[in-house]
Structure 1
Amino acid sequence: MRLAIAGIGILALALTGCSKAPGGGGDGGPDVGNGAATAGLAFTYSYGLTLPARSIATVQEAHAAACEALGSGRCRITGLGYTVDRAGTVSADLSVRVAAPIARRFSREAVTAAEKAGATLTGAHIGGDDVTPLQTAATRQSDDATVELSRIDRQLARPDLPPAERAELQSQRAAETQAARTAAATQTQSAASIATTPVEFHYEAGRGSGLLNSLRDSGDTAIASATATVTAMTWLVAMIGPPLLALALVAWLWLWLGAPLWRRIAATMRARTDEPA
């Protein structure tokens, strides 16, 4: 019994820690990416939501509108999809990029709004990618390129420099300039990945977790499967119906006209064959 209580306590502490990740602030304020523990991390957020099919478009639109309300400087919609398959099952996706300091708060408020609309949170993933090594390497590359460019420029300033050596130095200068540009682009991309956070929402039709909801979903699946089967059979009949009717008409004509006529012809042929010469 003591072991069970201790295990429950440890699990509660772990869940409490997870509920505050990654920013650490219990109030969900703009602290993600600002603390020492999260410095240099580029976060990604992903959430799975299950809700009635009729509510998916409404919740998706509400999330998109919440992003637009923040303004393009703090939130941008990068992807939006809505799908209804042949069985009538609805699914949707929404991808946005949110300013890192408000990403966790935006995500939490979006999930809360979806739950109020009848959704169930079925999955959540927050990942962080450390871009510090990439930034460090880019900074070193930029510094090395700057040093090399200074050396090359001093050499190119010599008036007595031979043409062949000048051409070689100019080629080296072009390579170092390109290296400096690449390093600058890497630093810009790394800074952008830290400053903005991708947030993805995946919407699926259903009633959420629990045995009763699972049974209801199974019933819905069975009805959808039966509907798809009836639809397929109707399509099959529509495709092969006319040829079958044509074959049936030919068979009926044969039985009504062709077969008796053939029997009379056969009987006449046998009678002629049996006559004495």
Structure 2
Amino acid sequence: MKWVVSSAIALSLAGCSKVPESSAGEPDIAGNSVAGVAFDYSYDLTLPSSRISDLQEEHARACERLGPTRCRITGLRYTVGQQGDVNANLSVKIAAPLARAFGRAGVKQAESVGATLTGADISGTDVATAVAATATERTDVAAERARIDRELARVDLSPRERAELRQQQAVAQGQATAAAATASEQRESLANTPMSFDYTTGRGTGLVDRLQDAGDTALGSIGLTVTALLWVLAALGPPLVVLLLAVLVWRRWIQRWWTELSARVDRRLSRPRPTAHDPTSPSQR
């Protein structure tokens, strides 16, 4: 099974090097899926932040042009960080036979506007074994329900036996419903392939591109520092103005008055007081 999945992934990646064309001018989608294997595609794209929204929109339109029966948008995210970095994502579910060609076309569209493919993940899950197990389970449950129905058709059943069979019938019905839901999910996973495009801000993987990204990061850090200082000034500005006014009033008027008052008090306290034996005292006269 590992060999089957590995061969399928290798086949998918090898097909990216050449795009065969059908007689109608559309990509040949034969061999884009492997029977019994459910694939999941994921692409990481790096490009300037100013181009991300346009590329995301182009990928979304490409999905919409296929129609809701062959491609459905399941998620769309676009966020801008404090330094202006953009992180975005587009998630779709596309008909399995179209998945490889759609992903290849999406990457080529991205590269045409200056994006760099920095990562690709194509993973496969073996569903064939699970499908076979589910089919066996549904067959067994159907046989059990048929047996219970035959037993319930008997006229010689006691009330206790009939009640037990009713309980067994309810359990079998629940098992049949669960098995049907599982089979539906398995068919969905084989028929439609999840695919996601992740967009991040950047210029590429070369030395020059990395140096430019580093310069952008430095400028963003400076911008954050200036912004933080402005926030501090905005928050502390009014209290600082009031404090400066209070200091100015103190130094301009109150400090001089306080100094003169303190000097008077000190002079009055420093005068000698007359004693009772002082002949010059008015009381001795």
- The two structures have a TM-score, normalised by structure 2, of 0.86
Residues 92-147 of structure 1, C-alpha deviation per residue, up to 9 Å, x if partnerless? 11000110001000000011011011111111110001122322222222111111
Contact 1:75 1:96 (8 Å CA) reproduced? yes
Contact 1:51 1:205 (8 Å CA) reproduced? yes
For residue 264 of structure 2, give the secondary structure of its aligned residue in structure 1: helix
| 1:247 shift after superposition | 0.9
For residue 21 of structure 1, give the secondary structure of its aligned residue in structure 2: helix
- The two structures have a TM-score, normalised by structure 1, of 0.88
Give 1:273's match in structure 2, choosing from 269, 274, 280: 269
| 1:168 shift after superposition | 1.2
Contact 2:127 2:186 (8 Å CA) reproduced? yes
Structure 1 equivalent of residue 4 of structure 2: none
CA RMSD, Structure 1 to Structure 2 (Å)? 1.8
Residues 252-276 of structure 1, C-alpha deviation per residue, up to 9 Å, x if partnerless? 2112222222212211211121122
Give 1:44's match in structure 2, choosing from 35, 40, 47: 40
Structure 2 equivalent of residue 210 of structure 1: 206
Aligned length: 258
Structure 2 equivalent of residue 21 of structure 1: 12
Listed as ranges, the matches of 1:89-108 within 5 Å are 89-108=85-104
Listed as ranges, the matches of 1:1-277 within 5 Å are 20-21=11-12, 27=19, 29-32=28-31, 34=33, 38-277=34-273
Larger radius of gyration: 2
Contact 1:32 1:104 (8 Å CA) reproduced? no
Which runs of 5 or more structure 2 residues have no equivalent in the other structure? 1-7, 21-27, 274-285
Which runs of 5 or more structure 1 residues have no equivalent in the other structure? 1-16
Contact 1:44 1:128 (8 Å CA) reproduced? yes
Distance 1:23 1:191, change over 3 A: farther
Q: Could you tell me the percent identity over the aligned residues?
A: 46
For residue 252 of structure 1, give the secondary structure of its aligned residue in structure 2: helix
Which segments of structure 1 move beyond 3 Å, counting only runs of 4 or more? 17-20, 22-29, 31-34
| 1:167 shift after superposition | 1.1
